[in-house]
Amino acid sequence: MSIRHLIDITDLTPEEIDGLIATAEDIIAQPERYQELCRHRQLATLFFEPSTRTRLSFESAMLALGGTVLGFSEAASSSTAKGETVVDTVHTVSCYADIIAMRHPKEGAPFAAAQRSEVPIINAGDGGHNHPTQTLTDLLTIHREKGRLNDFTIGFCGDLKFGRTVHSLVNALSRQTGIRFVFISPDELKLPDYLKENVLKKQGLAYEETASLEAAMPGLDILYMTRVQKERFFNEADYIRLKDTYVLDPEKLVPAKQDLCILHPLPRVNEISVAVDNDPRAAYWKQVQNGKFIRMALILLLLGLRAE
């Protein structure tokens, strides 16, 4: 059987994504069915860039499936610090682990690693490019909050240029029906042209771009807030000028729909006031929890395992 990797969200068909969501929802309902499925299996988490949610939710997911985990959380503690290539590192780890989740600051690094891996590679975020497992988390959350993955207006707000979670989610939603996209950002942080040309326009999907969160707010069913990605800026002055362009607070939510769903991949800095956390429309802490369940479902899929 050929090895399955998850490098880009389009490596999964829409039907497979529906299946992952169904499995995650079954895991939530009946966790005991899944607790032994990965006994004697090992997950390696190779994180060359900082993470809280992605790494720990992968590890928590594998432990909840009865498996074990190994890995590192910074490049400095691996032989990368001695000059080893990513490809050689992954080739090495694939001798010890059954599946690898990898985050790297260089775009395309997980793809390159997959070429020499003997086991499935999961892209846990590559530079400002893609973050497919965050997208699975987002889709599970939308499905649980809205009961569907189609026919809604979603506003993406903040750093749409470097925000890899935005890029993967736009790609995934472009394959659903009836999605209206509103991109809310300053000029400098607009969605990259390659996504507009190769994904949205190619499929004949209409979208709107605006700098005004206030103007967009009343029409939104989902608001996807993002952090301005300090680590991707070449110039600190630009980061400081742009970082607080959008700050969601209770006042800005006054004209919003009563059933708005507010998402954020986290971590947040200033872009959502903590006063919004108690608003019933805030779903970003549920998103964090959903990340574990959908990663459990993904590990099972890539290892070819299922509950009887």
Closest CB to ligand CP among residues 125, 158: 125
Least distance in Å: CB of 267 to ligand CP?
A: 6
Copy the structure tokens of residue 72: 């590192």
Question: Among 134, 141, 171, 229, which residue sits at the site for ligand CP (rule: CB under 6 A)?
Answer: 134
Instruction: Check residue 130 for interaction with ligand CP (CB under 6 A).
Output: no
Q: What residues numbered 41-60 form the site for ligand CP, per CB under 6 A?
A: 51-54
Closest CB to ligand CP among residues 42, 54: 54
Closest CB to ligand CP among residues 137, 217: 137
CA distance to 132, 138, 146, 203, per residue, from 283 (Å): 19, 10, 11, 29
307 vs 36: CA distance, rounded Å: 9
Least distance in Å: CB of 230 to ligand CP?
A: 12
Size of interface with ligand CP, in residues (CB under 6 A): 9
181 vs 208: CA distance, rounded Å: 6
Q: CA torsion 277→126→65→263, rounded to 10°?
A: 20
String of contacts with ligand CP for each residue 240-269, x by CB under 6 A: -------------------------xxx--
Least distance in Å: CB of 57 to ligand CP?
A: 8
193 vs 199: CA distance, rounded Å: 10
Least distance in Å: CB of 159 to ligand CP?
A: 13
Nearest Cα residue to 9 out of 98, 117, 138, 96: 138
CB 262 within 8 A of CB 282: yes
Closest CB to ligand CP among residues 125, 127: 125
Least distance in Å: CB of 238 to ligand CP?
A: 22
297 vs 17: CA distance, rounded Å: 10
Residues 6+ apart with CB under 8 A from 34: 27, 64, 65, 296, 300, 307
Question: Among 67, 71, 110, 125, which residue sits at the site for ligand CP (rule: CB under 6 A)?
Answer: 125
Least distance in Å: CB of 220 to ligand CP?
A: 21
Least distance in Å: CB of 1 to ligand CP?
A: 30
137 vs 284: CA distance, rounded Å: 10
Closest CB to ligand CP among residues 170, 217: 170
Interface residues toward ligand CP, by CB under 6 A = 51-54, 125, 134, 265-267
